[in-house]
Amino acid sequence: MKILLIEDEAEMRKVIIESLEKERFLVETAHDFHAAWDKISTYDYDCILLDIMLPGGSGLSLLDELKKMKKQKSVIIISAKNSVDDKVKGLNLGADDYLAKPFHLAELTARVKSVIRRRTLEGHAVIELKNVSIDMDNHTVHVQNQPLTLNRKEFDILSYFVSNKNRLINKTALAEHIWGDHTDQSDDFEFIYSQIKNLRKKLKDSGADLEIQAVYGLGYKLVTD
């Protein structure tokens, strides 16, 4: 899952990044209003951690822009401003949660997982599709109750497809989501092809009733019907 951390305090960014990366989240950052605007208007994220007080503008203004763009993202406001008015305004603008600083990193991680489950995984940590079981928290996969060994990127790709089952995923969106926002600087998508090829083979060899179909010239689709 890909997280955007919008936070101007460098030390705070560092500790949050380290904590979330230990949980195998891919974390992108923005340190001010304008950098954050560029990110949210260009890329998609599973969850946005949003500080209210930012150089160049208010985090609440960014939240309002997300609403106008109809980008239904999981948003957790993290702010030193623990006022009722800010909390109410943020929630009314579409934020999923509000966490006042200082907070425990374990609580932040738990809330991130919770809002992602509610928004994209129908509230479940373990997803059952056909004869495949994917545990999002423990990063394990079972096919017909037998463990399927995947490397980190293969698991991340499968998780992304599961969250977007039966939808066409283009190669650029997949690359950005799994490898980060700088993949648009890459000359080709060979790194995607190799991981997809390995994942499709492992699913087939294990007897999984899921199929990742290649849509020529466009991308891929996880077919569950």
Q: What 3-state DSSP class applies to 83?
A: coil
- Which residues fall within 8 angstroms of residue 108, CB to CB, at 6 or more apart? 16, 19, 49, 76, 78, 99
Q: pLDDT for 87-117, tens place per residue?
A: 888 888 888 888 888 889 999 998 898 888 7
Alpha-helical regions (H) of the chain: 10-22, 33-42, 59-68, 84-92, 105-120, 152-163, 171-179, 190-205
Global pTM value? 0.68
Question: What length does the chain have?
Answer: 225
User: Higher-confidence residue: 94 or 5?
Assistant: 5
CATH 3.30.360.10 corresponds to the domain 2-120: no
Architecture of domain 126-223: Orthogonal Bundle (1.10)
The domains of the chain are located at 2-120, 126-223
Residue 185, pLDDT > 70, answer no
Contact 60, 32 (CB under 8 A): no
Look at residue 46 in the predicted model and tell me its pLDDT: 86
Residue 199 has pLDDT above 90, yes or no: yes
Query: What pLDDT score was predicted for residue 10?
Result: 93
Q: Give me the pLDDT at residue 200, please.
A: 92
Give the 3-state secondary structure of residue 208: coil
Q: Does residue 123 carry a pLDDT above 80?
A: no
Note the pLDDT of residue 183.
Answer: 61
What mean pLDDT value characterizes the chain? 85
